[in-house]
Structure 1
Amino acid sequence: MKRLIVFSFLALSIASCKNESQSTEETVVTKEVTENALPEGEQLYRGEFIYLKDAAVLTTRNEIYAVKINDKMHELNEVAKALKKTEFDMVNVVIHGTIQPNPVKAEIGEGWDQMVSITKIIEVTPATSANVIKTGKTLDIKEVK
């Protein structure tokens, strides 16, 4: 009886591993087709987006880009507003865009080196909340000094 139970457990674990690897391969193929189907000169960007007054920023895993303020950026901001809790929250985005030198950086000397111009909005999701430790105690300004 013990052999039957052990054999059944072993068979189920092997069968479940086979199904898992097949679904992973399908996901990888779908991502490669999507990323390779970009128009000439465009790239896929994933990161966090924020727009405040007259500055828009896209923070990716490795870079920070200024975002060109145009109709597509305003369209992205309208979708982002619905997902934000406060005006200072960022949203996760997946976009197609083109990179160019930041004219504001050349003119003023401040800002990010590169600017992304959004050509297509793929996905907008709320950002996950940061891991903030809350003590439950509010500090008075006098206590901080």
Structure 2
Amino acid sequence: MKKINLIIILALTIFACKNETKQNVDLEENRAKSYDQNDGFITIKGDFVYFADAAVLQTPKEIYGVVIDENMHVLNKQAKAFKSEPTDMVPVTVRVRKFKKEKNEEGWPYRVEIKEILKVEAPDPNKEDVIKLAN
């Protein structure tokens, strides 16, 4: 029984490492740009949506409220080309200024202000994490 558990744990570890390395390679180029510029901005890759006067950037580990300004509207305009519905989330890579929200504000603990748009991609059509409600 211990051997079976050990084999399962090893297999899961190996598969998890393979997925991380592929994703990390793409981010390293963008992070290098952010670090090299030494301007205090960070590079974030995540899913972006702007709907009903609320903008959100969701990464695998965190969700950020996005400051609604000119750069956010430019990003939204670029993302619209990849949306089939207004609530679709679009994968983006952006350089942002990250800061804590004010105590009297609603929303997530951190907000981001978009400073530079690095990449806007088409959503993966095979991704099945969407829940749709129907009558």
The alignment's TM-score, normalised by the length of structure 1, stands at 0.64
C-alpha separation in 1, matches of 2:121 and 2:59: 15
Correspondences of 1:18-29 after superposition (within 5 Å): none
The structure whose residues are more often helix, as a share, is: 1
Cα separation, 1, equivalents of 2:107 and 2:45: 20
Describe the SS at the equivalent of 2:81.
helix
Cα displacement (A) at 1:37: 2.3
Q: Counterpart of 2:128?
A: 131
Which residue identity is paired with 1:38? Q
Contiguous gaps of at least 5 residues in structure 1: 1-26, 133-139
Distance across 2 between alignment mates of 1:86 and 1:100: 30
Take 1:35 and 1:101, find their aligned partners in 2: how far apart are those partners? 20
Pick one of 93, 109, 112 that aligns with 1:116.
112
Do the aligned partners of residues 41 and 33 (structure 1) sit closer, same or farther apart at CA in structure 2, a change above 3 Å counting?
closer
The answer for unaligned runs of 5 or more in structure 2 is 1-24
Moved over 4 A (4+): none
Report the count of equivalent residues. 105
Are 1:72 and 1:119, in contact at CA under 8 Å, matched by a contact in 2? yes
> 1:88: how far off?
1.0
Whole-angstrom distance in 2 between the partners of 1:90 and 1:61: 13
Q: CA deviation at 1:35?
A: 4.0
Shift of 1:131: 2.3
Q: Would you say 1:58 and 2:57 are equivalent positions?
A: yes
Q: Which whole-Å CA distance do the structure 2 matches of 1:120 and 1:39 have between them?
A: 14
The answer (yes or no) to whether the contact 2:67–2:111 under 8 Å persists in 1 is: yes
Query: Aligned runs of 1:1-145 on 2, under 5 Å?
Result: 31=29, 33-103=32-102, 106-108=103-105, 110-129=106-125, 130-131=127-128
